[in-house]
Structure 1
Amino acid sequence: MKCVVELSEAEETTLQQLSINHKHRDTRTRAAGLLMLGRRIKPKVIAEQLGVSGQSVYNWSHAWRDSGVVGLMGGHNGGRPPALSDAMITTALEVARTESLLTLAQIGQRVQAVHGEPLPCRIETLGEALKREGFSFKRNRYALKKSATKRSAS
């Protein structure tokens, strides 16, 4: 099957906007590649210009033909599963809201006590989850005493 894409004016405008504004780089690249295919540029040339394999350009063409714009958007639902369960995050949020003077370590201990199991991640991961919900923490700082830094004159 030939790698030819016929674009309407609305589709071309949509692809131009996607190639400029989409948050994922690979979607921007796919949109740019399809625009080039619509302008009758050969897939091998497109692959060289965009720094992808020739097969990728053919895959974009088939995805466009089968699903349209939705075919370009796929591929962003993978990745590593979250270390903390939603229940643990909810518990941490409740503890942080009800008792505002706790440290992050103390919140982690409360979550462990409620769920009866150790945190499946580092304490910093719990801190990041709480930061996403609007909480912030100050880390403890150790001040140097002047007497400890003075050198004796010999």
Structure 2
Amino acid sequence: MKYVVELSEPEKKTLQQLSRKHPHQDFRTRGLALLLLDSGRRVHETALELEVSDKSVYNWIHAWHDNGLCGLLVGHKGGRPRSLSEAMIATAIEAASAELMTLRQIAQRVEEVHEVPFPCRLETLSVALKRNRFSYKRGRYSLKKSATPRSSP
């Protein structure tokens, strides 16, 4: 069975932007599939090229016909769940804002408050802080100069 997808110029431009710049791969694939179908490709050819099942392409066509762009942009369930909960991130931001701390000290504070072992690496905590627009700089030790200069041998 051949499904016809006819797109207007604004729809084509929107789907081209979606297929190039959306942060989730599955949404980029959906936009590209509709563009391929609009250019005259068959469903089976499109599915083979995008390495998805025919059923997925049919589902995208139905979603497009029923709800337009909004139909394509629902259902992203990919990716691993975040290891730090929102409450843990809030605790980390609060602790880091209160005083100068290293990442390890912030992680220990989160462990104390939530009474669970810290669930991820310190780099993950750093990324979570940056994602929440918290500018984190590690504390640096200043060079201590001795009162008496060293004598050269």
For normalisation by structure 2, the TM-score amounts to: 0.71
- The answer as to whether partners of 2:110 and 2:118 remain within 8 angstroms in 1 is no
Change (3 A) 1:69 1:88: same
How far did 1:35 drift? Answer: 1.6
Distance 1:122 1:13 in 2: 41
Change (3 A) 1:42 1:81: closer
Task: Determine the structure 2 residue equivalent to 1:73.
Answer: 73
Distance 1:129 1:52 in 2: 33
- The answer as to whether partners of 1:130 and 1:136 remain within 8 angstroms in 2 is no
Task: Determine the structure 2 residue equivalent to 1:121.
Answer: 119
- Aligned residue type for 1:137: R
Number of aligned residues: 137
Identity of aligned residues (%): 53
Q: Decide which moves more: 18-27 or 78-87.
A: 78-87
Instruction: Identify unmatched segments of 5+ residues in structure 2.
Output: 141-153
Change (3 A) 1:121 1:66: same
- Aligned residue type for 2:116: P
How far did 1:97 drift? Answer: 1.8
Task: Determine the structure 1 residue equivalent to 2:149.
Answer: none
Change (3 A) 1:138 1:54: farther
- The answer as to whether partners of 1:47 and 1:57 remain within 8 angstroms in 2 is yes
Distance 1:127 1:20 in 2: 29
Secondary structure in structure 1 of the residue aligned to 2:83: coil
For normalisation by structure 1, the TM-score amounts to: 0.70
- The answer as to whether partners of 2:22 and 2:28 remain within 8 angstroms in 1 is yes
Task: Determine the structure 2 residue equivalent to 1:134.
Answer: 135
Distance 1:34 1:71 in 2: 12
- The answer as to whether partners of 1:108 and 1:123 remain within 8 angstroms in 2 is no
Distance 2:15 2:127 in 1: 35
Instruction: Identify unmatched segments of 5+ residues in structure 1.
Output: 140-154
- The answer as to whether partners of 2:5 and 2:34 remain within 8 angstroms in 1 is yes
Q: Deviations over 1:39-73 (max 9, x none)?
A: 33211111222222222221111111111111222
